[in-house]
Amino acid sequence: MTEKLSVEIRKENGKHAARRLRRSGNIPAVLYGHKEETVPLTIKGEDLSRVMRHGARFVELIGAVSDTALIREMQWDTYGVELLHVDFARVSADERVRREVAIELRGEAPGVRAGGVVQLILHSVDIECPAMAIPDKLQLNINHLELEGVLRVSDLSPPENVTILTDKESVVVQCVVPLEMPEEAAPAAEAIEPELIGRKAEPEEGEEGVEEK
């Protein structure tokens, strides 16, 4: 079922107006696409939180604007806590859209029991699908991933109507022998200075260089 989101037209533009809006618990947004007019909007923060909690990506805008839209982009603050702005792109329900979808690993790799470590190389893939049927994530079964084995994008099994746009040969996950990392810091015998760019050692001083002083 499509989530409904009540919106109002935003009359004021600019950072000061946007900050005032955020202080009052609202989020500035914009609606564009389908070669129609771009409309600045305001959404109540709690309404948007509800939509995000349900993981909706395709929403029906009601109120000042009646349209169906895709959440194209969300802007967050430095810490990724406060939502600053939302972009809505006009789409119809049966229109095919391009999205980035996360990959989730399922199962337990036999390679781990053999002493390997599973490394997720590709965290998300680009897909094309109907706007109404965007999957939350694509699952990849790693129950057959042996040591030194890899699974590629072609091993993903997307739902019906979903086309993967990422290169099929890209490695998604691999099971490798863990690298031995030095546990303890080696004691610094002497302070080593980096080489100076553009400063050359004099030939008669040999290897001692000019940084000796």
Partner 1 sequence: MPLMPKRVKHRKSQRGRIKGKATRGNRVVFGEFGLQTLQGGWVSAATLEAARVAATQYLRNEGRLFIRVFPHKPITSIPLETRMGKGKGEPEYWAAVVKPGTVLFELGGVGADAARICLSRMAHKLPVKVRLIKRQTA
- Binding residues for partner 1, rule: CB under 8 A, are 76, 78-80, 99-102, 117-120, 123-124, 137, 178-186, 188, 192-198
Which single residue is written with the structure tokens 């202080």?
23
Residue 49 beta carbon to partner 1: minimum distance, rounded to whole angstroms: 16
Tokens of 188: 């610094």
* Residue 7: closest CA among 89, 67, 64, 68: 64
Q: How far apart are the first and last CA of the chain?
A: 75
Q: Which is nearer to partner 1, 55 or 168 (CB)?
A: 55
State in angstroms the smallest separation of the CB of 141 from partner 1.
Answer: 17
Closest CA to 43 of 27, 31, 54: 27
In the complex, minimum distance from the CB of residue 36 to partner 1, in angstroms, rounded to a whole number = 27
Three-state DSSP state, 26: strand
Locate tokens 């406060």: which residue?
82
CB 132 within 8 A of CB 100: no
Task: Enumerate residues 6+ apart whose C-beta is below 8 A from 2.
Answer: 56, 58, 59, 60, 68, 93, 132
Q: Which is nearer to partner 1, 1 or 179 (CB)?
A: 179
- With respect to partner 1, which residue has the nearer C-beta, 38 or 78? 78
Choice between 61 and 125, CB closer to partner 1? 125
Report residue 63 CA to chain centroid gap: 31
User: Which residues is 127 bridged to in the sheet?
Assistant: 99, 164
Give the count of alpha carbons within 13 A of 122, CB side only. 25
What's the closest the beta carbon of residue 190 comes to partner 1, in angstroms?
Answer: 11
Using the minimum distance from each CB to partner 1, give the nearer residue, 41 or 88. Answer: 88
CB of 15 to partner 1, least distance (A): 15
Closest distance between partner 1 and the C-beta of residue 60, in Å? 23
- At residue 48, φ and ψ (nearest 5 deg) are -70, -35
Cβ closest to partner 1, residue 55 vs residue 93: 55
